[in-house]
Amino acid sequence: MTPTAPSPNAAKHAIILGLWDGHDAGAALVVAGQVVAALSEERLTRRKHQAGFPQQSVVEVLHLAGVQAAQVDAIAVAGRYGRAPARLFDRQYAAQDPARIDPLSLPSQAFAQFQHAVAALPAVRDAEAWLGQRALRAHLQHLNLGHAKLTAIDHHLCHAVAAVARAQLPALVLTLDGYGDGISVAVWLATGRTAGQIQRLHAQGPRHSPALLYGGITQLLGFGEGQEGKVTGLAALGKNQNTLRLHDQLRHQDLDLRVQVRQGLASVRQALRQGLAAADVAWELQRALTAAILPWSARWRAHTGVDNLALAGGLFANVALNGALSAQGWNSLSVCPAMGDQGLCVGAALAASEHLAAAEQVDAMPWPSLRLGTPIASVQPPPPAQVAASLATGAVWGVARGALEFGPRALGARSIIADPRQRQVVVDLNQRLQRDAFMPLAPVFAQPRWAEIISTPLAPVLSSCGDMTVALAVTPAFAAVAPAVVHVDGTARPQALAEHDDPWLYAVVQAFAELTGCPALVNTSFNRHGEPIVRTAQEALASAQAIGLDVVLVGDEVAHLK
């Protein structure tokens, strides 16, 4: 599958380029209201969470969509205020390694305070915004895009639009992240998919940011920036204890969230000094977060009367939290597949598109596919039964074929697949990938097998499970047959594959089930720890050799490495 190119008469439709130039920078292209290409800058620079102006991504998405720079009508950038210093000193900003940035350090806190202060001062923020956009225009001129109208769009509105693009309507939308444009928590009501049809009901600043507390505790536990998922995985290994209680620092109060970031971090520091295990800290953090967010979201549900929930922002990279929310009985729960700042470029482009959805097209999905990046041609891959037989003998395959997925996870186009019937597979594969031993692996299986694998109904979480953004309890029978893809808490982060999503992978999974009686395969992203997911054929081959995979499929070519 390759990115969808615009039709020959695309010039009659709006062509919008969306940008995000913070950490997890990237670019997206929307033509006639449809996302046709999207790519994160990290996939080209090979630096995880790459920040700064996404120059290479801009060039690549234009190329993928067959669009010339002169055809771009408008450019939308996520983030209105507080971005001028990073944009003026983009070269230095982009050269930083995001993994080495400590959000608890004085420079990081000073930059954050600057952004919050600017967002709160109308006269100052307008001047600062003009200066930041002027710096952006210098980059755009270099790419022959200086003619296009440039619009800056609210950070959280970009999150909300990206979430609504794959949600059922009307939707209650929650966007929670560290901060952006002076906001960390926002609640929206979406009656349609255009920015004008998404109304902000509530907002809170960074003083009450669950994501900042979660990120700070991630640092205190010895993990780097952007590694909050490790804390989520580690939490399943922890236990209840009386040394640390975060209820007072993370709770809800009616329609508000009440978060005391500094006090919460101080409590965790003290608990760690007293010898509390990291897993127990993670457990308490996950418990407190769930205990706050679930009743808070329920209050907003009652307040609005809306029964569809859409989520975006870095906090909702927490798949365990998403799974707990899904258990509240929503009619539907959808999570922006690039829930962190990666998704901002898509949200910006969609927010600026005048042709996103006409009134009679309000239910149309403007973001139907995540396979929006660099393609590796695949016409005739190996027979599914042959691949299934190899996997059943214990061979671990790397797969790189079709268009690169957009977002933090691979869904079969840049994946490592394996037999999940032995728990030791988790240990062995995490060692090969240089990942922490406690991190779970995820299953991919055919959608019709859902009921025998997952304990809850499929319909409310259909889109989320296609994108692997929610963790759900598995059936005892599945836990027994596929222990490598079931976490110690009895949950899995499923990829429920429809046949039209990837006919070849679907057939491989089905062939494996017929051969072994196990209805799923391991699916994990094709990358080592600390590296972005592979993009090109050359990267796939090099990574497969470094990881020590047994077999790698690149396009239609099979290479046996062992």
Confidence at 253, pLDDT banded by 50, 70, 90: very high
Please tell me the class of the 10-160+341-369 domain.
alpha beta
Determine the average pLDDT of the residues in 291-309.
98
Can 10-160+341-369 and 168-335 be said to share one CATH topology? yes
Single-letter residue type at 421: R
Q: Above 60 in pLDDT, residue 311?
A: yes
* Among 355, 310, 367, residue whose Cα is nearest residue 160: 310
8 A C-beta contact, residue 158 and residue 78: yes
Q: What's the confidence (pLDDT) of residue 191? A: 95
For residue 158, give the H/E element and its range.
helix 155-164
Helix (H, G, I), strand (E, B) or coil at 257: strand
Q: What's the confidence (pLDDT) of residue 557? A: 97
**Quick count: other Cβ atoms within 10 Å of Cβ 95?**
11
HEC per residue, 474-499? ECHHHHHHCHHHCCCCCEECCEEECC
DSSP state of 307: -
Determine the average pLDDT of the residues in 303-327.
97
Q: Above 70 in pLDDT, residue 3?
A: no
Q: Above 60 in pLDDT, residue 11?
A: no
Q: What's the confidence (pLDDT) of residue 364? A: 66
Q: Could you tell me what percent of the chain has a pLDDT over 70? A: 96
Least-confidence region, from 42-51, 314-323, 356-365: 356-365
Q: What's the confidence (pLDDT) of residue 360? A: 39
E-state strands within 122-164: 149-153
Q: What's the confidence (pLDDT) of residue 404? A: 98
Determine the average pLDDT of the residues in 310-318.
97
Pick the CATH number of 373-560 from 3.30.420.40, 3.90.870.20, 1.10.540.10, 3.30.300.180: 3.90.870.20
Pick the CATH number of 168-335 from 1.10.1040.10, 1.10.3720.10, 3.30.420.40, 3.40.960.10: 3.30.420.40
15-39 confidence digits (pLDDT tens) = 999 999 999 999 999 999 999 999 9
Q: Above 60 in pLDDT, residue 83?
A: yes
Task: State pTM to two decimals.
Answer: 0.94
Q: What's the confidence (pLDDT) of residue 230? A: 94
Determine the average pLDDT of the residues in 270-282.
96
Determine the average pLDDT of the residues in 261-281.
96
Confidence at 122, pLDDT banded by 50, 70, 90: confident
- Ranges of each domain in the chain: 10-160+341-369, 168-335, 373-560
Q: What's the confidence (pLDDT) of residue 376? A: 98
**Which one of 95-99, 109-113, 170-174, 460-464 scores highest in mean pLDDT?**
170-174
Q: Name the residue with tokens 């597979």.
A: 425
DSSP state of 454: B
For the chain, give the mean pLDDT: 93
Distance CA 512, CA 51 (A): 41
Sheet order of strands, 171-180 included: 198-204, 183-190, 171-180, 308-312, 332-335
Q: Above 70 in pLDDT, residue 317?
A: yes
